[in-house]
Amino acid sequence: MTTTTGHLPALAAAVLQPGFVGTTPPQWVCRWLGDGLGSVVLFARNVVDTEQVAALTATLRAERPDVIVAIDEEAGDVTRLESVHGSSRPGNFALGAVDDPALTEAVARDLGVELATAGVTLNYAPDADVNSNPANPVIGVRSFGADPALVARHTAAWVRGLQAGGVAACAKHFPGHGDTRVDSHHDLPRITADRDRLDACELAPFRAAVAAGVQAVMTGHLLVPALDPHLPATLSQRILGGLLRDELGFSGVVVTDAVEMRAVADRYGFAGATVRALAAGADAICIGGERADEQAARELRDAIVAAVISGELPEERLAEAAKRVGQLAAWTVAARSAGLAGARGAADVGLVAARRAVRVTAGPGTTVALPLTRAAHVVEFEPLRNIAIGAETPWGIGGPLGELLPGTSTVRYAEPDVPADPGAGADARPLVLVVRDLHRHDWMRAAVHRALAVRPDAVVVELGVPELVTGAVHLATHGATRASGRAAAEVLTGAR
């Protein structure tokens, strides 16, 4: 009997979700769409504005009408659609602080309609991780919070809202990236919780997402010995098949986190991790921001084909994965039409939500007077950002505060550059110290301590996780988006 393999390249291409460089699709992407490629993923490098993205996706659909166009748009600190200016919506942590699931659903639906208008059909969001470890370097404000029940109800609300807007949601990073001190972009995190703890904490939001009808789940490159002592979740049949499919009852598309991330690529290789993930039960392979050319896509496609021919990857498993991707594609075509036909929410729903998330804490006997009524001096302390957030996205409150208090000055310091007296330029003006995750950075805490010793009347504004509250007046936004910065500036000046 002769076995033909000519159909395998198209099957292999169907399960890839590659990125590319440029604000228009390169020729190789258009060619691949005609040869079986089922999906692409957009990053900040592909985005100028909504109109340009709409033109880009229209070009893709001219090649394949049901192509899945994915993006990593959390509508918080992690934004691709608004990376130039910062997100006009607050992120998960701010929505969790408000704890109004109806508001969360409205924000997500508003985002869904915007994405659908731009031609995006799959969003790698919401982040369903429970940020139970405040020292976590990669999740933080991307999570709805540290309480599993809160995270679960807002994950479900976000899924409902986004999908009502016409875009497939993708809950991540299964089975939960919240209790780590390691960023999986750089190394393999290890989750040491036992199964009872996992059920009570990490898995609760994913159960809620499945119950809400989430169309996709993204795997985390995480070693969870209580579930599989040997393989990270992305490569584990026990976790993807036994837990996610059989126990949680998920029937949608399982998408990997970017397969070139060092947590898996350093151990199993770029192509090796891809083949292992498909064999374990993944349906779609995300090729993230670091490998964005035809050579990378061809390397993975050829490795998948070779694995099928050698017997390492059963053809039935590859066909099943491609079928699920096709089913998601069909869902997105119908959902996008329905979402665009629906009414969009209030144009300022993001700013409304950001305003509701601001919390002000005043120390006993404080002499700091709010609102500020004259030009201030703003000192912003900038920590290293993780890869997920991206270096291109602006943040801070100096800009919006300067609009409300003309003459306001702003300086920004990173770790090596902080002077002995960080607030020295303030003179007699109000001093505002802006921090992100103050509790995680020794150098930042030392600098703020020095500034407060000289100017105890300074206001501290925390744009990250407010684990450490300090200063006579402390303002927490629960995120560093453009909307959060504006909301903070309004509170400081009494504009609202």
Q: What is the C-alpha separation between 203 and 15, in angstroms, rounded?
A: 26
Strand order in the sheet with 459-462: 359-362, 473-476, 459-462, 431-435, 377-381, 409-413
Helix axes 315-341, 101-117, angle to 10 degrees: 100
User: Of the residues 110, 127, 228, 257, which is catalytic?
Assistant: 257
Angle between helices 50-63 and 27-34 (to 10 degrees): 40
Q: Tokens standing for 46?
A: 């592909």
Task: Output the CA torsion sign for 41, 43, 46, 51.
Answer: positive
Q: How far apart are CA 159 and CA 165, in angstroms?
A: 10
Cis peptide bond prior to 126, omega within 30° of 0: yes
For 374, the enclosing helix (H) or strand (E) is: none
Outline where 27-98 has alpha helix (H): 27-34, 50-63, 92-98
Q: Which has the closest alpha carbon to 259: 370, 365, 333, 185?
A: 185
- Structure tokens of 21? 């460089």
Neighbours of 272 (CB within 10 A): 17
CA-closest candidate to residue 178, choices 208, 201, 155, 207: 201
Cite the beta strand spans of 272-386 per DSSP E. 285-287, 359-362, 377-381
Q: What's the farthest any 2 CA atoms get from each other in the chain?
A: 88
Radius of gyration over alpha carbons of the chain, in Å? 23
Task: Determine how β-strand 16-18 pairs with β-strand 168-174.
Answer: unpaired
Q: CA–CA separation, 199 vs 102, rounded Å?
A: 26
Helix (H) or strand (E) holding 451, with range, is helix 442-454
Write down the residue that tokens 């608004």 correspond to: 82
Q: Is residue 257 annotated as a catalytic residue, yes or no?
A: yes
Report the 10 Å Cβ neighbour count for 468.
Answer: 18
Q: Hunting for tokens 């869904």 — which residue is that?
A: 112
Q: Which helix (H) or strand (E) holds 413?
A: strand 409-413
Backbone angle region of 86, left / alpha / beta, with phi > 0 → left and psi within -120 to 50 → alpha:
left
- Are 252 and 214 spatial neighbours (Cβ–Cβ below 8 Å)? yes
Say how far apart CA 168 and CA 157 lie, in whole Å.
13
Residues with a catalytic annotation lie at 257
